[in-house]
């Protein structure tokens, strides 16, 4: 039996692959290795997986129908029928969606449609788990964010594509009865993290003696979630195929967050302490497409999946900083 994992060279994807392999799963990963951020970092993540028994990698684009069909056939030939799909491949980044909107339509919309349609030929498939985002909550002011809240007012194209992906999955499950579960990730950080995310950007700037950009003049709060907790949530979701809802549609949505909203300035303080350096701060206005606060209601995730995040930033940030220094050869 095989788990087909998209975005395998990505931050979350590579960690999920490692966790699946550690529990004895056969994993076939696909990634297009695009240059949105360092391809060397993506290849370094893959290098950690390449020697693991049960892992195979296929370079390909999830928005390419022929490539996905060929990859799924190869996956089945390598490890047996595909029983689960974890679809994490996406074009990430709120601010970049203002600059290059077309790649979001390709990766996040077409990619979702292609991956779901590809499941129709997989007789052994039991569950399709996919990545959504806390950004779907848009300008909502009620905290914490609940999956029962309305999400009809996205404030970025990225958020709009992620919400659209949820609706596409719902319609697919309604028609074809394939169980689908969407996971709304809340500001994930940790070792092997993305260079466009706050923790990495702040470390880069502090180590180089450059000012860090602090948006909304620091009046920001985020539900920062450590990668190990996210991975545990992804695997728990995969292991619990969505049951039919009141309308008979086998689809679910869950928040994966730390259930604690941290001040951005507090987050910076913990990074400063871990690095042993003080940050220079450039206080800037709120950026287009951004929101002042995020905070995950995880009651349903705890109840249904046993999800129990256990890593505060005081523990997670030093682990990220230790990896950052090692990866960049900093003593």
Q: What does the pLDDT look like over 96-128, one tens digit per residue?
A: 888 899 999 999 999 999 999 999 989 999 999
What integer pLDDT is reported at residue 217 of this predicted model?
A: 85
What integer pLDDT is reported at residue 51 of this predicted model?
A: 83
Q: What does the pLDDT look like over 147-186, one tens digit per residue?
A: 999 999 999 999 999 999 999 999 999 999 999 999 999 9
3-class DSSP string for 26-94? EEEEEECCCCCCCHHHHHHHHHHHHCCCCEEEEECCCCCHHHHHHHHHHHHHHHCCEEEEEECCCCCCC
- Of the candidates 116, 112, 162, 173, which has an alpha carbon nearest to the alpha carbon of residue 136? 162
d(CA 13, CA 148): 27
Domain that holds residue 238: 2-194+223-261+294-311
Has residue 95 got a pLDDT over 90?
no
What integer pLDDT is reported at residue 29 of this predicted model?
A: 98
Q: How many CB atoms lie within 10 A of CB 331?
A: 4
Phi, psi of 8 (to 5 degrees): -65, -25
Query: What is the pLDDT averaged over residues 69-93?
Result: 95
What integer pLDDT is reported at residue 125 of this predicted model?
A: 97
Q: What does the pLDDT look like over 15-46, one tens digit per residue?
A: 999 999 999 999 999 999 999 999 999 999 99
What integer pLDDT is reported at residue 240 of this predicted model?
A: 98
Residue 274 within a domain: no
CATH of the domain at 255: 3.40.50.720
Has residue 94 got a pLDDT over 90?
no
What integer pLDDT is reported at residue 290 of this predicted model?
A: 81
What integer pLDDT is reported at residue 93 of this predicted model?
A: 86
- The structural domain count of the chain equals 1
User: DSSP assignment, residue 196?
Assistant: T
> Where would I find the beta strands (DSSP E) of 88-170?
127-133
d(CA 54, CA 50): 9
Query: What is the pLDDT averaged over residues 251-277?
Result: 97
Residue 105 within a domain: yes
User: Within the chain, how many helices (H) and strands (E) appear?
Assistant: 12, 13
Residue 321 within a domain: no
Residue 273 within a domain: no
Residue 268 within a domain: no
d(CA 207, CA 283): 19
Residue 129 within a domain: yes
| 158 part of the active site | yes
Q: Which one of 96, 130, 158, 324 is the catalytic residue?
A: 158
Q: Enter the pTM of the model.
A: 0.97
- Of the candidates 147, 131, 126, which has an alpha carbon nearest to the alpha carbon of residue 241? 126
Contact 232, 257 (CB under 8 A): no
CA angle 4, 198, 36 (to 5 degrees): 50
Residue 13 within a domain: yes
Residue 50 within a domain: yes
| 194 band by pLDDT with thresholds 50, 70 and 90 | very high
Q: What does the pLDDT look like over 46-80, one tens digit per residue?
A: 999 998 999 999 999 999 999 999 999 999 998 89
3-class DSSP string for 288-327? CCCCCECCECCHHHHHHHCCCCCCCHHHHHHHHHHHHHHH
């Amino acid at each position: 039996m095989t788990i087909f994992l998209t975005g395998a060279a990505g931050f979350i994807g590579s960690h999920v692959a490692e966790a699946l392999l550690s529990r004895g799963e056969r994993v076939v990963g696909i990634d297009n290795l695009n240059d949105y951020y360092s391809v060397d970092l993506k290849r370094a993540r893959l290098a950690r997986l390449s020697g693991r028994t049960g892992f195979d990698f296929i370079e390909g684009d999830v928005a390419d129908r022929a490539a996905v069909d060929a990859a799924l056939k190869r996956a089945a030939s390598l490890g047996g029928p595909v029983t689960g799909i974890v679809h994490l491949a996406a074009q990430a980044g709120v601010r970049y969606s203002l600059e290059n909107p077309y790649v979001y339509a390709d990766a996040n919309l077409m990619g979702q449609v292609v991956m779901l349609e590809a499941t129709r030929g997989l007789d052994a498939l039991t569950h399709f788990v996919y990545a959504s985002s806390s950004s779907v909550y848009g300008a909502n002011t009620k905290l914490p964010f609940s999956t029962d809240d309305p999400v009809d007012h996205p404030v970025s194209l990225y958020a709009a594509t992620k919400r659209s992906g949820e609706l596409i999955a719902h319609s697919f499950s309604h028609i074809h009865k394939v169980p689908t579960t969407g996971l709304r990730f809340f500001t994930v950080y940790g070792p092997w993290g993305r260079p466009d995310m706050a923790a990495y950007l702040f470390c880069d700037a502090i180590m180089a003696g450059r000012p860090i950009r602090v948006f909304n003049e620091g009046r920001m709060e985020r539900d920062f979630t450590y990668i190990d907790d996210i991975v545990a949530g992804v695997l728990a979701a995969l292991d619990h195929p969505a049951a039919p809802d009141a309308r008979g549609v086998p689809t679910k949505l869950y928040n994966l967050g730390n259930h604690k909203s941290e001040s951005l300035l507090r987050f910076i303080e913990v990074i400063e302490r871990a690095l042993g350096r003080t940050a220079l701060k450039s206080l800037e206005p709120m950026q287009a497409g951004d929101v002042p606060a995020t905070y995950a209601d995880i009651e349903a995730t705890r109840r249904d999946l046993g999800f129990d995040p256990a890593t505060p930033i005081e523990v997670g940030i030093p682990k990220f900083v230790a990896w950052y220094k090692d990866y960049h050869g900093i003593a």
